[in-house]
Each structure stands twice: as C-alpha cells, then as structure tokens.
Structure 1
Amino acid sequence: MEVKTVKDAFDRVAKKQKLSCSKTQETVDRLSREIEKALNAIQEPTTDTDNPLLHKSLVSDLKKTVQEIAPSNQLEAAHKELNVALSKYPKVLEKTLNSDISKAYRNVEFDLHTVHQIIASFFYGQGLFDIGDCFISETGEPESSARESFMEMYLILKALKRRDLGPALNWAASNSDKLEQANSDLEMKLHSLHFLKIAQDKKSLDAVNYARKHIPIYSDRGLQKLMCSLLWNGNLDKSPYAGFLSPTLWTKAVKELTRQYCNLLGESPESPLSVTVAAGSQALPPLLKYMNLMVNKKQEWQTMEQLPIPVELSEEFQFHSVFVCPVTKEQSREDNPPMRLCCGHVLCKQSINRMSKNGSKSFKCPYCPSDIDASQCRQLYF
C-alpha cells in the first residue's frame, strides 16, 4: 500500500510535468508562427516598400496578437500546477518512507564473524568475486570456503551461456548419482541441448548416435520428441517442434544447474541475504505504523516473543506452514502447538486446555458433535 501511495504521487508529478512541457511548447510554437508571419509580411515586396505606416501597422497587429495569446499567463498557470504537485511529493515521501527505522527493530547482538561470512558469501554467490575478496581483506576474515565452490559454478555457467555444454556435462556426469537422488532431470536437459546442437549442424546420424550413447529412454517421451524433430531437420522453425529452437531452453538449463549446484553445496539458490532484505522491506512498513501508534511502549516491544500485529508477506517468502487456531485466531507457538483431536480436527493446545479445564473433563469439538478426551489429543509437527 505504501509503495502504491508513492507511485501514485510520482505519477501525478510526471503527468503535470508532461502537461506543463506540452503547454509551454504549444505556446512557444504559436508565438513563433505569429512572429514569422509578421516578418514575412514586412519583407514582402510591395509598391510602397518604404511606407513606415504599413510596418507600424504590422508590428501593432503582432503586439495585439501576443497580448491575446498572453504567454506569461499560460506558462505561469502550467508551472503553478507543476509546482503544487512537486511540493506535495516530498511530503508523501517523508510520510511514507520514514527514514527512522530504529523504532521497528530490536537491539540484537550479532556475531560479527558470522555477519561477515554471510556478506562475503552473498558477494561470491552473485559472482562478485573481486568485491568479495576486497570485503574479506578489509574485515580481516579468513578466506571463505564458498569462494572456490562458487567460482567453479560461475565458470560452468559462463561456458553454458556461450552455448558451450562441455563443463556443464562433465559436472553433471560426475554428480549423476546425486542428481538422480534429487529427482533432477538436469543431465537429460543438457544432453538434449547437445543433441539439438549436433542436429542443427545437419548431422542427423551423429545426433542419433549421440542419443543412443548418452540419452536414456524416458517415459516422458522426451527422447521420442527429439528423434521426431530430426524429420524436420533444416526446417525445425516451421515444425511442431519449433520450441526446441527457443532460447528459453538454455535459460532454464542455467537456472536448473544453478539450483542443483547450490543444493549439492547445501546452499540456497536464492541469496539468503537478498531474501532477508526483501522480506524485511515488506514487513517494515506495518511495523513502523504500529510503533508510531505505540510510541510509549518501546520497552514492551523489545521483550515481545511474538509480533504484535499480523504481517503479511508474499508467497515467495513463505517457507514453512503456519497453523492458526480456528478458535483463538492465534498462530501456534512452541508453547502453544497444534494438537490433533480424536475426531480429526486441529486446535491449539491452549484452546484445548481452556475447554477441558486443563484436562479435568471432556469437551465437545467446536466443529463436530464429538466428545473429546484431552488426554487423547496428539501434537502435530509441521
């Protein structure tokens, strides 16, 4: 919502700027036409070229036309509207993008060594090896073990982006068992791309021999489609298999290799630091709004075990299932876990304790007429 507010304010300024520019250009063009018209009339040869009264009349008419156009008034009005929009925009920014975020975070002591390693791993994971080396040098940290691993990955990716499949195929072959355990079809994708490269050179027999040697028969008919595409060799772009020419296949191969390489390293293919910052930028505005309303309760905020307000994050930041008790509408916690009733419904432990008087009596499930014995409820683990 906050981002939309800023965007709307920016759009208003941009619109006023375009209108002001258009109005200014229109006024200047009209003045230019009138002046040029008067000059042409003055320079036009007549029988009485030295008649000062004629020239005076033309200048007088031009002056009258300029007064009617009133360029100063028109430009002033357009600029006034633009200035109003511009003066409001900083206020929207100041109100929405509060630079003082200290109200919305806790004072947590971090292990600097761990923080430095996370930042260095971020640089190496993004392929910024020079910056990572500089950071390690300036912080005095030992060289990160992630550097060599990511260096190998980026050399493979660099070759793959220039359509050199050799390094990628060698890595996939050496990690074939691990890829199979991860149910990854990366090796198949890479061999398929190499098959297509051979076929595009109009070497159909070589492509068939390569497929026989390297590509196993898959139930998903992947090999069958590749073989059928040979029937259209030379005209593949006009065939039902034109998708094999799409650069998207290479892009997907790059993404899949990155994902599988990071998985085998025990790393996330998405930078943890980037994900944390992006998720924090979504959580920060509602927390700031809450803290502005609760200015006098800063100490309470520092000691809370759970967020005081619901903070909605986008799906890409939802990594774990969260159970919300249907009775209290509260999220489960370590001291208030979800419990499965014998009827199959699930409530939080505190709700069960309240309804059963701490297990001293049975109670009715709020969602079905079953009588529930609290001692028979079992904790669920997500």
Structure 2
Amino acid sequence: MTTAPNIEGIMLFEQPFARVPYENYRKVFRASQKNIEKELGALQTAAADLARKAQSGAVSQEDATKAVDGMLKRAENLKRKLGELQKNAGTPTLGVMRERLELLASVESMQSASSPEFDRWADTRLDRWLTDWALRSGKERTARKLAQARGIERLVDLELFSEIRRVEEALKRHSCTEALAWCSENKTALRKAKNPLEFELRLQEFIELARDRKLMDAIVYQKKHLVQWQETHSAQIQHASGLLAYAPGTTCSPYKRLYDLGRWETLVRSFRLAIYNLSTLPTEPLLHLAMYAGLASLKLPACYDHETKNVDCPVCDPDLGLLATEVPFSHHFNSTIVCRLTGKIMNENNSPLAFPKNGHVYSKEALEEIAAINDGMVTCPRTKERCHYTELRKVFIS
C-alpha cells in the first residue's frame, strides 16, 4: 500500500517560498509605474505647453525642434531606465518565481511519499530550511556555501537576508539612514500595514540630536519629520519634546528611558519584524516550525515525569526538549504505548505486560529478553520488583 504525500500539509509551509519573489516583483512593478508616471507626466506637460505656444504663434521652428528633441530624450531615458530595471531585477525575479512554482508543482504529481522522487524533493526542502536557519542566525557565509553546494541559490532568499543584515548593521552602528531608505521604498506597504517603524526611526534621530545637545537642529527636525505623525503619535511626540530640557545624564525616569541605548536593539527587532511581515515570512525559522509540528505529535507528560529518558524519543533529548517545551502535549484519538526499555510501540505483535504488584508496564519483547538471561525471572528497573515471567499480567490496549 502506497501513501500519497500530504500536499495540503506541505503547502502550509511553502507559502513564503513562493510569496517572497512575488513581493520582489511587485516592487519592480511599482518602481516601473512610478518612473512611467513621472516621465509621461513631464512629457504631457511639455507637449501641451508646446501646442499652446504653437497655436498663439509664440514659438519659432528652432525652439519647437529643441522642445521635441528634449521630449524624445526624456522618452529614450525612460525606455533605458525601464529596460535596466527589467533586466537587472524583473527578469531574474520572474525566473526565480517560475522555478519555485515548478518545484512546488512537481510534488503534486508524486504518487507515493516513499518514492525516490519524493525523497529527493524532501532533501531539497531540508537544505532550504537549513539555509533559512543559517541566514536568520547571522551565518550568511555558511548559508551561501550550503546553497552553492546544493545548487539551490535561486530557491533561498539570500539577497533578502543580505539586505536585512546591511540595514541591521547600520542600526547597530546607531545610524537610521539605511533603515529610513528602506522605509521610503516600502512606504505604501508600511502605511497599509499600519506599521510605525518609520516614526520610531525618526523619533530616534530626534533623540540623538537631543543627546548631542544640538537643540536647534532637534527643533527643526521635529517640525520637519515628527509633526506629520501628530494625529497618531501625539503623546510620544510631546513626551520626546521634554528631552530639549533634560540632558542625557538625567535621573528622571521617563526621559532616562528615552536616552537608553537599548532602544537601538529594539529598533533592530522592529525592523526585522517589519520586513518579515512585508515579505510574509514567519518570525521563526521554517526548520523550527517543522520540528515544532513533529514534537507536538510526540510530546507526552511521561517525557517529563520519569527520570529514565527514552533514548529513541526526540522530546526526551536535552536539546530538542528545549523546543518541545513550547509546544502542547500530543492528543491521540487512539492510545499508543511505547516501551520504556526498547522505545518500540507495543501492539498486538508486541503486547504490553504489567508487573503484578506495582503495575508498571513494559513490552513482551523486552521482558522475554530479560527472562531469557535470568532463568525466567524479571526485575522492574524502576521499583526493583522481582517475579517470574509467568506471573506478569497481560494488558489490553483500548
């Protein structure tokens, strides 16, 4: 009997895989649209102005020729810009999107989850998840080497995380310039998501001017960049205005907190959360999410109640157990009993047997092995109760 891959479950993890290049192409489209509107608007204005002058006879043939030449140059410049944008970003992004969608489509045609084709597909998916984990953990060189070795450069978001690292390094150097440039490129999406990242960055630049006691520059900056946020962030702006009167060494708690350099780390986290949301990326590595799902199906109270850990249980592992603490206990409609001695599931072929007094249960296979080397006697490893194998009680699973 063959088991088909769980396509619905697979696709739950793959939404970001297809969405990231889609969002990148949307950026290319918006940039192209912006250039077209800007240049065509200027061309229409110039053409209307020339037509008006021509009707009134206020333009010579030479001036008209120069005006037309100027419009042609504008049109050629627009064509060049759009061509470069499409060549450098548009076409590669479409290629990445097509390759990723083809990879997702290929799994739908697979008839069995145990087929070699599905194994290869799953290996590629694991490589992608490992690369994603390395990128999120700041191990960019490792991620690039892994992607190159496995030939999956177009299947992972190397450029996205390179941009994240560049902006975050600037923030760690106490510079908002790179982050504000990113906000400008994504202003519409941030406004639609009601994300206050740009305001937080502007507020931090005002705080730094106050820290350096450049009070007049701070006032000018506030009028230029903070007043526009008055409707939604009035209380924060008024609070920050008090920094003009309080120096960085103040002991007044509300203003001391504004001067706290820990705010830069908060900005780093806010930026990463914003770019994840705009790119529809989960905040946790995909590898962790997959492991959470697996651990949630195995986690039982017994994993934490007993002192002797099951070597075959991932939840009992000291490292994986840390991830397991964040997931709920498993819920089974049908009982599954695992032998503590062998780690194997007890069923009709390996029935559970209980000691007569303490009631502790182990598998028939494990107890038979113990009895074979102890002249038919078995000993409970937890309570040391000793009895003959024939005294064990059979347990029925319901």
TM-score (norm 1): 0.46
Please report the TM-score for the alignment, with normalisation by the length of structure 2: 0.44
Computing the radius of gyration from Cα coordinates, the structure with the larger value is 1
